[in-house]
Structure 1
Amino acid sequence: MRRFIHVRHSIWLFVIGCCGYATAQDSRPMIIPVESKQNAVVLQVDAKGQLSTIYFGTKLSNSATYQQIPATYQQTVDYSGVANAAYTAAGSKNLFEPAIAVVHADGNNGLDLRYVSHKTISRGPDVEETSILLKDPLYPFEVTLHYKVYKAADVIEQWSVIRHTEKGNVTLQKFASANLYLKASRYWLKQYHGDWVQEMQPEESQLTHGIKTLDSKLGTRANLFQPSVFMISLDQPATEDQGSVLYGSVEWSGNFRVDLELDNLDNLRIIAGINNYASPYILPANTAFETPPFLYTFSNKGKGDASRKLQRWARNYKILDGKGERFTLLNNWEATYFDFDEAKLKGLLKDTKELGVDLFLLDDGWFGNQFPRNSDHAALGDWQENRKKLPNGIAALDSMAQRNGVKFGIWIEPEMVSPQSELNAKHPDWVLRQPGREEHYFRHQLVLDLSNPKVQDFVFQIVDSLFIKAPKLSYIKWDCNAVIYNAWSAYQGKQSSQLYVEYVRGLYKVLARIRAKYPTVPMMLCSGGGGRVDYGALQYFTEYWPSDNTDPLERIFIQWENSYFYPAIASANHVTDWGKQSIKFRVDVAMMGKLGFDIVVKDLKEQERTFCKEALTNYSALKDVIWHGDQYRLADPHEGSVAAVMYLDEKQSSGVMFNYLVNYRYGEGSKLPIRLKGLDPCKRYQLKEINLYPEEVSTIPDNVTFAGDFLMTIGFNPQLNLKRTSVVIQINEAP
């Protein structure tokens, strides 16, 4: 039964005044607590209908005591009276960065939002959505704030819906999803930066007064330079297991913006959503503008607890098939690049079966005839099979895969077009380009105008045609390698300022159509490395590609940072020839997620091939706990010579511990025991080394048991050294 609570008249006796908004007949303010299992965002409505945030943090046992919170702070005077507004409007008496700024139909840019009503609706087991309606007393303009609370997960998604009935269009100059207000003595920001093969480089600093802005202006690959994920530690920098920390992320695959403003009261204002850069949005009357969710969770038990909350939420609610299975695979890219034909692929299909993985993935280079795809300079947009390479089409490859007892998948990059292509010549108006100006190319390609419904139909048909040709098609690798240069849309015309917003909306429309027709087919979200990973896109994809940098030593760091925000089941990790490490090291690192191979199998030595097969057998036994278990980061590679990561099942009875030496200087190794986490202190556990290279003998006895409290208090030494640079330990409750 659906739970529905609607509040318009309450014990505070709000009535509709002459201007059409609620006013209080009692001097006591109304409290609206938005609570999860352990956390709370508490909003307050004063006598004038001003909606403010009075608390963010750990939930109190008695919600009535939230009213006592404001009086406990004795800070600088708030001259504006709206510094802690729940959704700060520009153009009235606000003195800080606004969440929303508009130009009304009559040219006035003033906006004043007052409380009208709120309601709470059940959205499923343990999920509630509170919506709060705000209206301007002078203009027929309203904003509804939405707070979707995943109670057990301690995660909130917040967004806004903007409407009006003015006589003419309203221009939205800024349109944030959320506006948070935090109180602490000090604040530390952990943010990320990067570039191709250098994704997720962390930086942590104390926030000072003024505004720190995290944003992207790339249009498509939002997080090539700066991801939309971040952490805020309160009072002192949070550690893995201690401290108060907020995780935030904008669920949007285009330009995002997060403003972090430390105000004159020493409080932190967080305003997050779509980037309004070059994007004034023309909103007609009776039309809703819905912003993407801003996602956040909070923990007073450190970064590890916060990440496990977010990972559980992602598996249970957001990532496609987050509680399901994934395919291991062999990709042909590094084995062939663009140089292949049907006979060569037939051999790789046999290698797929021989290796023991589930699926063969055909990468770039299979399409284009007038302009063959023999390099990355041509053919994007011309998605017909290349007759020279594949005379019998992908249907023949699909059939071959079935005969070999494996599945078949394929690479596409449907949002892009090559200047040298039939599509570009036939539909120049489908391409983003500035009329009369020199064209600029990113990786020798241009971007299709996904704000155009005809282009949306075309992209959908690209995917749909693949399944028509190859009905057993089991996997799609969806790439996106270009940013938006030449930002002008023939379809949008004079409203091309809306392009950055409508492009992403168009992309989501296509993905929603694909998922409606093909709801279960696994798809990888790829983008020249980790250039497009966010929860706005991941609701349509089963996994993402963290980086083109598959050097396993580098991947330890990249996967480590991604794991704060994304679960292991979504991380596509491939074994390649990058790096100088052994095949064992490479496979061990790739096992910390969804395992794949991108190697020339026939070039492997016999012992290497034997090891890979045995490792796949071990992975099959461990993948459930890696994909669906709780992750504990044990030894930080940024802080020492060792990296250690552990996965543990819900019953605290089985798990796996991955250990790596990341510093190869003389005498380095695991000199100290590594403390495990999450175990039952009263249980006994048996630890056994697995993934041993053929003829290698473990130095760790496998017939010794340890008490859980011993392993968490004293620890366990995996005996890493220059000859043992990667050690995998299987953990099982002792009988």
Structure 2
Amino acid sequence: MRFNLTICTVLFSAFQAFAQNSPVVIPLETTQNALVLQADKDNYLGIIYFGKKLGQPTEYQQIPAQSRQRDGNAGTYNSAYTPAGSWNVSEPAIQVTQGDGNKSLDLVYVSHKTVKENDNVSLTSVVLKDPVYPVEVTLHYKIYAQENVVEQWSVISNNGKAPLTLQKYASANLYFTGKDFYLTHYNGTWAKEMNPEEEHLTAGIRVLDSKLGTRANLFQPPSFMLSMDKPATETSGKVLLGTLAWSGNFRMDFEVDSYHNLRLIAGINNYASEYPVSGNQEFKTPAFIYTFSENGKGEASRNLHNWARKYRILDGEGSRLTLLNNWEATYFDFNEEKLSGLFKDGKKLGVDLFLLDDGWFANKYPRNNDQAGLGDWQENIKKLPHGIGYLVKEAKNAGIKFGIWVEPEMVNPKSELYEKHPDWVIKQPQRPEHYMRNQLPLDLSNPEVQNFVYGILDKLFTENPEIAYIKWDCNAITFNAYSAYLEKSKQKQSQLYVDYVKGLYKVLEKLRAKYPKVPMMLCSGGGGRVDYEALKYFTEFWPSDNTDPLERIFMQWEYSYFFPAITQSAHVTDWGKQPSKFRTDVAMMGKLGYDIVVSHLDEKDLQFSQQAVSTYNAIKDVVWHGDLYRLVDPKENDFSSLMFTTKNKERAVLFSYLTGNRNGDGSEIAFRLEGLDPAKKYKVRELNLYPGTKTAIKEDQVYSGEFLMTAGFNPVVSARRTSVIIEISAVQ
């Protein structure tokens, strides 16, 4: 027995020695992919692998031994969260000034833990600490296994008494090994959103950022695609889709290092935003959300859609209301009688809801144009002598629900609110005011302003509990950033950009706690504010004020990589030169709405529009909750085609549009469909035909899924058939 005990003691001691010398390896795995962290012999945490999941997790720790890329002069390229001011000289994820003025930070691994929320979702937390100063950083990785999505953020803790100042505080720091990287990012401005550009990343740092404050996405959204080795296609190639869940200034650094590998750092823009963290306090960054696929952009976007509908978008797996908006019918010029007529038009059209847009409020400075009244949220007694409650009842009597537009974060200088509370307005006290759409943002870092903004919505709902929809707009960016509240409360002006967004979220959280289910559109003069933190509180967003259907084909195509169709509000309007069928067919590939004068429609257009609403009601579940396959890219062809397929592959809807105008443009030959079951049999049927026209499709033909996905199908898009919607249904 003594001999056996001695052997056991020796073996246990050997195991302890091995455990102490063996590096800590942390595999973060989805069903298909893995991000692997490792603490080295000095407890510095690095990323040793990103890519396809290995069958044997124990093999991850063998990966570093395969590399000869070691350069002590460069610090640690593959750091999981790169600090500044010590021995790392690459672009940092975190940069601080310590309480004693020292600007250095070093971070070593301390511990990690994983908590499973359910069979699909787990949260891994990794604790890093500075060996000298009382600074702790916890990296959080929330894994959605089936969706192959990772949500990553950091929490920076000041465990000392002296204040800590954050100069940079990223949400995520990733590292990819490879030979070539191709970045697809987006640019634009009002009515020209989501223009894609793809570039080959070369040595140095490529920065995507916004410094606009409120309407932060106006020129560039916080979303991108990153292809590895070669540009990815819809169906092939390694690609990461990334987006920051933050409704303010953002920054993303793409640094190609001396070995041609890529470092990615994403988070809040640190521009003019030094942020203090008091003793024993912490700062939580927003989430950076990403998905990776080795099978192209299509699979990656479906990953993100499945995650978003299930876990992030308010009522993402639910339904939506089809609406008629009065904006292009009346602009600011309306009264109760005119609106009552529009309620009846909406009922005649067959929609669920009437939305009253801008112009219903303010009396001293009536809101008859965009130059006055914003901030004075009382009904205009000249236009609406009986108030909003009367309109809600009139809409109900007409058989339709009622919704309303607000822009609660903003103020016109010509308003009672501005006269009473100039200290609530973001503006430099010693400089001329600079306006966008004749307005300025209110200071949401101020709790009084937060209460005011919440009170606007709360009053509307309290007095009119049957309001069924809110359109929340935000039309100005932040010029002359300055907060009288921060100055008075002896806080730093550099907190404003961050605290504004925090204040906005406080309002929305409070609003949703009391009114959890009312649908709300996230609008910001078009696509000026579209992100997954805001979409916790909103059911949909407004992609652009540009509703020209030809332009919308391109915009909605690009938005669709990051956001599912159920979130994209798409309205039929009078923009563009296309016929009503084309305009309607384009809107039907999103969340359908109307902004037209129904009474001006001729007999056939009215008949078609009524039929279209009915058709949309029959297919909307497929569009909203189905898998999206982009088939023919409008940027590369003279027509466009995409399809939505149910999860069980029993039903699909194919949308095709002519985008060229040369003679002979269109679908001359078949193209391959995707997402069907090759063993199933399918029939096709054309939907949404204009009255008096006939289909060019053989509707009595039965096709195998294999045929449709191999030989292909031609919807016959041409100058005579500029938009075509096809329903594909499985048959026994």
The match for 2:36 is 42
Partner of 1:559: 556
SS in 1 for 2:281: coil
Q: Is the 8 A contact 1:12 1:30 kept in 2?
A: no
Match for residue 613 of structure 1? 610
How many residues align? The count is: 718
Match of 1:307 in 2: 301
Worse-superposed segment, 384-393 or 76-85: 76-85
CA contact (8 A) 1:24 1:46 kept: no
Alignment of 1:367-446 (within 5 A): 367-446=361-440
Say yes or no: does 1:570 pair with 2:567. yes
Q: Secondary structure at the match of 1:492?
A: helix
Secondary structure of the corresponding residue to residue 79 of structure 1? helix
**SS of match in other structure, 1:451:** coil
How many angstroms does 1:14 deviate by?
12
Given that 1:121 and 1:129 are in contact with CA atoms closer than 8 Å, whether structure 2 keeps it comes out as yes
- What residue identity is the alignment partner of 1:675? R
The structure-2 alpha-carbon separation of the partners of 1:162 and 1:360, relative to structure 1 and needing over 3 Å to count, comes to same
Residues of 2 paired with 1:702 and 1:403: CA distance? 42
Give 1:134's aligned amino acid.
Answer: L
Structure 1 ranges of 4+ moved more than 6 A: 11-15
* Residue-by-residue CA offset, 1:296-323 (whole Å, 9 max, x unaligned): 1000000000000001100000000000
Q: Secondary structure at the match of 2:115?
A: strand
Is residue 2:291 matched to residue 1:291? no
Alpha-carbon distance between aligned partners in 1 of 2:558 and 2:74, rounded to the nearest angstrom: 39
Does residue 636 of the first structure (1) align with residue 630 of the second (2)? no
Q: 2:161, 2:280 within 8 Å by CA — same for their partners in 1?
A: no
Letter in 2 for 1:321: D
Per-residue deviation at 1:28? 2.0
| SS class of match (1:335) | helix
Partner SS state of residue 122, structure 2: strand
**Alpha-carbon displacement from aligned partner over 1:618-640 (angstroms, at most 9, x marks no partner):** 11110001000000001000011
Correspondences of 1:22-33 after superposition (within 5 Å): 26-33=20-27
Task: State the distance in 2 between where 1:52 and 1:35 align.
Answer: 16
1:500-539, aligned counterparts within 5 Å? 500-539=497-536
Alignment deviations for residues 417-475 of structure 1 (CA, whole Å, 9 cap, x no partner): 00000001101111111112111111100110000111000000000011122110000
1:177 to 171, 178, 191: 171
C-alpha separation in 2, matches of 1:367 and 1:611 = 35
Distance in 1 (CA, whole Å) between partners of 2:117 and 2:267 is 23
Q: Which amino acid counterpart does residue 416 of structure 2 have in structure 1? A: E
- Per mean C-alpha deviation after superposition, the further-off stretch among 431-440 and 309-318 is 431-440
Alignment equivalent of 2:234, drawn from 232, 240, 264: 240
- CA offsets per residue over residues 59-85 of structure 1, 9 Å max, x none? 111110001111222336343442111
How much does 1:49 deviate? 1.2
The residue type paired with residue 70 of structure 1 is: P
From 459, 468, 473, the equivalent of 2:462 is 468
Compute the TM-score of the two structures, normalised by the length of structure 1.
0.96
> Residue 198 in 1 paired to residue 192 in 2?
yes
Determine whether 1:83 maps to 2:80: no
Instruction: Give the drift of 1:531.
Output: 0.8
Equivalent residue number for residue 65 of structure 2: 71
Aligned mate of 2:678, from 656, 678, 681: 681
Question: How many Å apart are 1:220 and its aligned residue?
Answer: 1.1
Aligned counterparts of 1:539 and 1:355: Cα–Cα separation in 2: 31
Cα gap change, 1:66 to 1:387, in 2 (>3 Å): same
- Runs of at least 5 residues in structure 2 that lack an aligned partner in the other structure: 1-11
Structure 2 counterpart SS, 1:491: helix
1:12–1:25 CA contact under 8 A, matched in 2: no
Give 2:222's aligned amino acid.
S
CA distance in 1, matches of 2:726, 2:218: 35
- From 118, 121, 131, the equivalent of 1:124 is 118
CA shift for structure 1 position 112: 0.7
How do 1:701-712 and structure 2 match up within 5 A? Answer: 701-712=698-709
Mapped partners of 2:377, 2:427: distance in 1: 22
SS of the counterpart of 1:314?
Answer: helix
Offset at residue 166 of structure 1 (A): 2.5
Instruction: Tell me the equivalent position of 1:541.
Output: 538
Matched, 1:498 2:495: yes
Letter in 2 for 1:161: V
Q: Is the 8 A contact 1:24 1:49 kept in 2?
A: no
| Residues 182-225 of structure 1: per-residue CA shift (max 9 Å, x gap) | 01110000000000010000000100000000000000112110
Distance 1:637-1:176 versus aligned 2 partners, 3 A rule? same
| Equivalent position amino acid for 2:730 in 1 | E
| Equivalent-residue separation in structure 1 for 2:384 and 2:583 (angstroms) | 32
Cα shift readout 1:616-672 (whole Å, capped 9, x = no counterpart): 111111000100000000100001111001000001010100000100111212111
Provide the C-alpha distance between the structure 2 equivalents of 1:220 and 1:129, rounded to a whole number of angstroms: 31
Residue 322 in 1 paired to residue 316 in 2?
Answer: yes
**More displaced 10-residue stretch of structure 1: 158-167 or 147-156:** 158-167
Give how far 1:13 is off: 11
The answer as to 2:451 corresponding to 1:454 is: no
The residue type paired with residue 113 of structure 2 is K
Question: Is 1:220 matched up with 2:220?
Answer: no
Verify: 1:597 aligned to 2:597, yes or no.
Answer: no
SS at match of 1:288: strand
Paired with 1:666 and 1:346, the residues of 2 have a C-alpha distance of 46
Corresponding residue number in structure 2 for 1:6 = none
Aligned 8 A contact 2:639 2:666 in 1: yes
Please state how far the C-alpha of 1:121 moved relative to its aligned partner.
Answer: 1.1
Task: Identify which of 670, 692, 697 aligns with 2:694.
Answer: 697
Deviations 1:682-724 (A, max 9, x none): 1111011110000101111211110101100111111111111
User: 1:87: how far off?
Assistant: 0.3
Q: What is the CA–CA distance in structure 2 between the aligned matches of 1:25 and 1:617, rounded to whole Å? A: 66
Q: TM-score, normalised by structure 2?
A: 0.97
Q: Secondary structure at the match of 1:26?
A: helix
Seen in structure 2, the aligned counterparts of structure 1 residues 14 and 358 have a Cα distance that, compared at 3 Å, is: farther
Separation in 1, partners of 2:607, 2:68: 68
Structure 2 CA distance for aligned equivalents of residues 159 and 12 of structure 1: 38
Q: Is the 8 A contact 2:642 2:654 kept in 1?
A: yes
Contact 1:331-1:598 within 8 A present in 2 as well = yes
Partner Cα distance (1:619, 1:600) in 2: 20
Offset of residue 357 of structure 1:
0.2
| Residues in 1 aligned to 2:58 and 2:172: alpha-carbon distance in whole angstroms | 25
CA deviation after TM superposition for structure 1 residue 674, in Å: 1.8
Provide the C-alpha distance between the structure 2 equivalents of 1:78 and 1:92, rounded to a whole number of angstroms.
13
Task: Name the Cα RMSD after superposition.
Answer: 1.4
CA contact (8 A) 1:297 1:306 kept: yes
Q: Which runs of 5+ in 1 are unaligned?
A: 1-10, 16-22
Instruction: Give the AA of the match of 1:69.
Output: I
Choose from 576, 579, 582 the match for 1:579.
576
Q: Are the aligned partners of 2:332 and 2:367 in contact in 1 as well (CA < 8 Å)?
A: yes
Q: Is the 8 A contact 1:26 1:47 kept in 2?
A: no
Distance, in Å, in 1 between the alignment partners of 2:523 and 2:107 is 41
The answer on 1:646 being equivalent to 2:643 is: yes
1:56 correspondence with 2:53: no
In the alignment, structure 1 residue 250 sits paired with structure 2 residue 253: no
